[in-house]
Chains A and B, each alone.
Chain A
Amino acid sequence: MSAASTDTRDAARRPGASGASRIALRALHLLLLPLVLIGAWWLASAVTGLYYLPTPGEIAATFVEVWGAERLAADVLPSIGRLIGGFTLGSVLGVALGVVLGLSARLRAVLEPVLEFFRAIPPPVLVPLLMLFMGVNTTMKLAVIVSGCIWPILLNTIEGVRAVDPVLIDTCRCYGVRGRRWLTTLVLRSASPQIMAGMRQGLSIAIILMVISEMFASSSGLGYTIIQFQRSFAIPEMWSGILLLGLLGFGLSVLFGLAERRVLYWYNGVRAAARGE
């Protein structure tokens, strides 16, 4: 009797236990290395006592202190606003131009070498140039971001539009699908994997440009604040700024990943189907 009851209890517990251990393993996968790294940092800074290497605890405490509501409103949010504004504008322009160029072989042939050259120019050199043009203001910072992030988006859109399946083009012609519906249902959707790939590259360039345009030519914003901390040897503050930029990059990448998963749901499905899953 007691043996039987132990058996059933075991049987009931076993799947639960293995589930729990799976979750524990996942958590370990997720957290072990970050914890080890933070620990190692702590140890290193405690042992060496280097002035430029504050402990993680110090950085965390400074982070909370430095990036309070006031600085958030004055420096961080305007920077993020410009970043998103510039990136959006660059994406719209890049996709629009890319569609036009992708559809016209002749125009493409004429402009391709020029575009290839513009794409090859490292975008940061645009910062001094546009400062010259426009002085130091919001328009200039936006222009820097737009003119840097537009190229990968533009060129990838061209590739994507060129790669639209000819059978789908014929299908649309047969069924009289044209005009706006043709553009949105056929061309843009079909090019969306390349457009998203271009936008991902454009986003990381936009972040770089947001930061350095403020480091190089500004008296406010995230980049400016961080470089000021470094200049005044406010080391834990500087580290907290680096941490904030890191979190910003990570957060935007996560958001973009979510958007990408939505937009390219069909594309991932097609690929999985082709793999035979």
Chain B
Amino acid sequence: MKTDTAENARPPARPSGAGGRPRVPRRSPNRAVLGIVGVVGFLLLWEAVPRIGLIPARFLPPASEVLAALGERLVLPEFWTAVGDTVLTWGIGLGIAFAAASLLGFAVGSVPVLRAFTHSTVEFLRPIPSVALIPLAILLYGTDMASTLLLVVYAAFWQIYIQVLYGVSDIDPVAEQTARSYGLGRLSRLRYIAWPSALPYVLTGLRLGAAVALILTITGQLIIGTPGLGQQISVAKNSDATELVYALIIATGALGVAVNVGVRALERRALRWHASVRGEEIA
């Protein structure tokens, strides 16, 4: 009999997925100081390189000018509208992908026949780069937010769906049999056995999906021109406002960090009860 432990059934990508492993302990004050040294050093370098003319300032404006441009932006309502649009597109896209992938994943994952019949299709559709759909999206929705949503949903869906499938196949057969022998119905088994054991995988999928969704949100805004930070970058680039391009890139980076930190925090919260079982996953 096969006793799949969670650790073994995990695909190779799991030990360090896109979000990286949350590193809770071991952040001693010394590390924080060194980290600040790194950030300050980086900013100084960035300031110095254009100032001494290593790279002309029209290509790489000094850090102070970029940060000043960012500061100016931060008080403009249109900047916050763009941020809002970006977050909204990201959130809706991720939400749709998550709902669809969880439902389909649980349904297909728990019925072996369905799994067998869908495998080839999934393996073909999954690696298709979502940017291939850009022309179709433009054709269907123009520069409407829906254009970008199409890309976001397609990209994030597969990340989550695959993890849900792994998660469902990872359900401990002993727990499942125990539940059956105690006469738990199908729904209670789903609630008390399948869902908790698949949860870590679902959250990994969410983490990977969230990162990919942000990438595609920005891509769609940049290439298609749907409203948001990506479109602002494109506009700034076309009007040769170099420091603004850099400032907006920093803004998208900050958004990226926020998404990573947020999803990791969610993961830690949701898996607190799991810590003893899978210390390796959490710590």
A-side interface residues toward B, CB under 8 Å?
A: 28-34, 37, 52, 106, 109-114, 116-129, 131-133, 152, 155-156, 159-160, 163, 193-194, 196-198, 200-201, 204-205, 207-208, 211-212, 215-216, 223, 226-227, 229-230, 235, 238-239, 241-242, 245-246, 248-250, 252-253, 260, 264, 267, 271-272, 274-277
Q: Please name 5 further chain A to chain B contacts, defined as beta carbons within 8 Å, in addition to the given A112-B35, A226-B134, sorted by A numbering.
A: A110-B37, A117-B257, A125-B249, A238-B139, A274-B5
* Residue from the list A114, A229, A260 in contact with B135, Cβ < 8 A: A229
Is A245 a contact partner of B223 (Cβ separation < 8 A)?
no
* Residue from the list A32, A34, A121 in contact with B252, Cβ < 8 A: A121
Query: Closest Cβ of chain B: how far from A71's Cβ, in Å?
Result: 16
Task: Of the listed stretches B125-133, B186-194, B197-205, B266-274, name the one at the interface; the rest are far from the partner chain.
Answer: B125-133
Is A125 a contact partner of B223 (Cβ separation < 8 A)?
no
Is A211 a contact partner of B129 (Cβ separation < 8 A)?
yes
A136→B122 CA distance, assembly (Å): 36
Contacts of B121 in A (CB 8 A): 33-34, 37
Contacts of B256 in A (CB 8 A): 119-122
Given contacts A197-B15, A245-B128, A250-B124, contact A216 B117 (CB under 8 A): no
Contacts of B17 in A (CB 8 A): 197
Contacts of A34 in B (CB 8 A): 120-121, 124
Is B38 a contact partner of A114 (Cβ separation < 8 A)?
yes
Is A122 a contact partner of B128 (Cβ separation < 8 A)?
no
Q: Could you pull out 29 A-B pairs where Cβ atoms are within 8 angstroms?
A: A33-B117, A34-B124, A110-B37, A116-B257, A120-B253, A120-B257, A123-B215, A124-B215, A125-B218, A125-B230, A131-B237, A132-B245, A152-B18, A159-B16, A159-B21, A163-B15, A196-B12, A207-B131, A208-B131, A215-B131, A216-B223, A230-B136, A235-B139, A238-B135, A242-B135, A242-B136, A245-B129, A253-B126, A276-B2
* Residue from the list A132, A200, A229, A249 in contact with B59, Cβ < 8 A: A132
Q: Of residues B34, B233, B254, which shows the largest number of chain A Cβ atoms within 10 Å of its Cβ?
A: B34
Is A252 a contact partner of B127 (Cβ separation < 8 A)?
yes
Is A29 a contact partner of B128 (Cβ separation < 8 A)?
no
User: Which B residues between 201 and 228 are near A, CB-CB below 8 angstroms?
Assistant: 214-215, 217-219, 222-223
Contacts of A272 in B (CB 8 A): 8
Is A110 a contact partner of B41 (Cβ separation < 8 A)?
yes
Is A155 a contact partner of B257 (Cβ separation < 8 A)?
no
Shortest Cβ distance from A120 into B: residue: B256
A274→B222 CA distance, assembly (Å): 47
A147→B21 CA distance, assembly (Å): 22
Shortest Cβ distance from B215 into A: residue: A122
A112→B249 CA distance, assembly (Å): 19
B124-158: contact bitstring with A at CB < 8 Å (1 yes, 0 no)?
A: 11111111111110111000000000000000000
Contacts of B38 in A (CB 8 A): 109-114
Query: Closest Cβ of chain A: how far from B48's Cβ, in Å?
Result: 16
Given contacts A197-B12, A250-B124, contact A117 B35 (CB under 8 A): no
Is B234 a contact partner of A31 (Cβ separation < 8 A)?
no
Is B222 a contact partner of A212 (Cβ separation < 8 A)?
yes
A211→B134 CA distance, assembly (Å): 10
Is A159 a contact partner of B15 (Cβ separation < 8 A)?
yes
A27→B8 CA distance, assembly (Å): 29
- B242 at the binding interface (Cβ < 8 Å): yes
Is B219 a contact partner of A124 (Cβ separation < 8 A)?
yes
Is A32 a contact partner of B117 (Cβ separation < 8 A)?
yes
A248→B37 CA distance, assembly (Å): 44
A204→B198 CA distance, assembly (Å): 26
Shortest Cβ distance from B127 into A: residue: A253
Shortest Cβ-Cβ A-B pairs, 10 listed: A120-B256, A230-B135, A253-B127, A245-B132, A109-B34, A110-B38, A121-B253, A128-B237, A246-B128, A197-B13
* Residue from the list A109, A163, A227, A239 in contact with B35, Cβ < 8 A: A109
Given contacts A110-B41, A208-B129, contact A120 B259 (CB under 8 A): yes
Is A267 a contact partner of B12 (Cβ separation < 8 A)?
yes
Contacts of A250 in B (CB 8 A): 124, 127-128
Shortest Cβ distance from B1 into A: residue: A276
Q: Of residues A121, A131, A245, which shows the largest number of chain B Cβ atoms within 10 Å of its Cβ?
A: A121
Shortest Cβ distance from B7 into A: residue: A274
Contacts of A198 in B (CB 8 A): 16
A235→B125 CA distance, assembly (Å): 21
A264→B11 CA distance, assembly (Å): 12
* Residue from the list B3, B119, B139 in contact with A275, Cβ < 8 A: B3
* Residue from the list B16, B118, B233, B234 in contact with A156, Cβ < 8 A: B16
Query: Closest Cβ of chain B: how far from A81's Cβ, in Å?
Result: 17
Contacts of B3 in A (CB 8 A): 275-276
Query: Closest Cβ of chain B: how far from A43's Cβ, in Å?
Result: 18
Contacts of B18 in A (CB 8 A): 152, 201
A114→B38 CA distance, assembly (Å): 7
Is B5 a contact partner of A275 (Cβ separation < 8 A)?
yes
Query: Closest Cβ of chain B: how far from A160's Cβ, in Å?
Result: 7
- B75 at the binding interface (Cβ < 8 Å): no
A230→B259 CA distance, assembly (Å): 33
A126→B125 CA distance, assembly (Å): 27
Contacts of A239 in B (CB 8 A): 136
